[in-house]
Structure 1
Amino acid sequence: MAHSTIEKHGAIPLRVAVVLVCCLAALLALRIWVLEPLIVASDSMEPTVPEGSTVLLLKSPSFEAGSLVSFRSPIDDALTLKRVVAVAGQTVAFEDALLVIDGREIPEPFVDHSRIDGTYFGPVTVPAGHVFVLGDNRGRSIDSRDFGAIPVHSIEATVLWPSP
């Protein structure tokens, strides 16, 4: 059985090359428009997302209260990761470190309340077209308590993995 000259020299058949180029293009498109890895640079989301962890962001404007989202910080324009705790029209308050939305205490098993007891805030009403975001490490997070509610259109992505 004779081998072609191309096969003898180890060249990749055109068909395989086309498939490889298409796969690379698809991965690049996925990375640019759909998914993005982010290395978390602060401890503001601990213990849910420890500093130095990598999260996978889904570039989608779809979110709800409880979702982890990324946006540009109004303070320094850095890509920031926080939890949406309230949406437009809801009132947000802290009563002795406990999150209260629309007058009801919200259970947050991921927050160490003993480290932030004695904290009071609000109530404030989230304006139309905005969301109120908080870090899970309430004692160390710079969030909507500092810079106010953020516009919904500023949310760039939601955390796909690890799931909140």
Structure 2
Amino acid sequence: MLSDDSTPEMPATVTIKAGNIVINHDLDNMDRGNHEYEGSLVVHKSYCDSNEMKRGDVVYFRTPPFQHPNPNMTVPKKSISRVVALAGEKIEIKEGQIYIDGKQLDAFYGKAQSKGVDREQYKLLDAKLQNPELLQQFYHMNLPEVEIPADHVFVLGDTWWRSVDSQLFGPLPIEQIEGRVEGYPAKLSD
């Protein structure tokens, strides 16, 4: 088993510093039930210049060109997602669970969720949720093993079925990453 117990589930509140930008993220691909990563977010623009990506980092990136399976889908030009696999690793999803180099990823973002509800919790809520058939398929999602090339990462939104991420466009080149999401901007006091 591969654990990540150091990545916080909620974004921090941070002071804007030199080299930071503030973006507005209005997509729900990172919503785990508490509107995480929604609204104004602080991005450390030059993070990739002097730091290596880590599993669990949330990154702001330019969406690479690809053919979306739904031709009516409007693909965002830029988005945010979480780094789940690093260069040189192999990622696979079996029955909605992420495996890295054959080891189960034990992290809050390591398995399929919809607004923070995993497959076991979903069974209890089935009648109350929209599209129960679609969500059952999602919870049993499979992705064949993909090896991450040098200078790439594999990113997923926390709610995979609402996310335009590596499950659709493959490993993300580091050059497409514009920065790491640091958290929400601190409010200035009067």
Greater CA drift, 70-79 or 151-160: 70-79
Which residue of structure 1 lines up, in the alignment, with residue 147 of structure 2?
125
Give the SS at the match of 2:163: coil
Shift of 1:49: 5.2
When the two chains are superposed, the root-mean-square deviation of aligned CA atoms in Å is 2.1
Which residue of structure 2 lines up, in the alignment, with residue 57 of structure 1?
43
1:91-149 residue CA offsets vs partner (Å, 9 max, x unmatched)? 11111001111111112325433243211111110111111110000121121010011
8 Å CA contact 1:97, 1:113 repeated in 2? no
Counterparts of residues 75-94 of structure 1 (less than 5 Å): 75=65, 76=75, 78-94=77-93
Q: What's the TM-score once normalised by structure 2's chain length? A: 0.63
Q: What's the TM-score once normalised by structure 1's chain length? A: 0.72
Decide whether aligned partners of structure 1 residues 49 and 153 sit closer, same or farther in structure 2, where only a CA change above 3 A counts: farther
Matched to 1:66, the amino acid is G
8 Å CA contact 2:43, 2:182 repeated in 1? yes
Matched, 1:35 2:20: yes
1:136 to 154, 158, 179: 158
Taking only the aligned residue pairs, the percentage that are identical comes to: 28
Which residue of structure 2 lines up, in the alignment, with residue 70 of structure 1?
60
* Structure with higher RCO (Cα < 8 A, 6+ apart): 2
Counterparts of residues 82-121 of structure 1 (less than 5 Å): 82-110=81-109, 111=113, 112-114=117-119, 115=135, 116-121=138-143
Greater CA drift, 90-99 or 46-55: 46-55
Q: Aligned partners of 2:118, 2:102: CA distance in 1, in Å?
A: 18
Q: Aligned partners of 1:52, 1:123: CA distance in 2, in Å?
A: 31
Shift of 1:53: 2.2
Question: Whose Rg is larger?
Answer: 1
Matched, 1:160 2:159: no
Give the SS at the match of 1:139: helix
Q: Aligned partners of 1:49, 1:101: CA distance in 2, in Å?
A: 27
Aligned length: 131
8 Å CA contact 1:40, 1:50 repeated in 2? no
User: Unmatched 5+ residue regions in structure 2?
Assistant: 1-16, 66-74, 120-134, 185-190
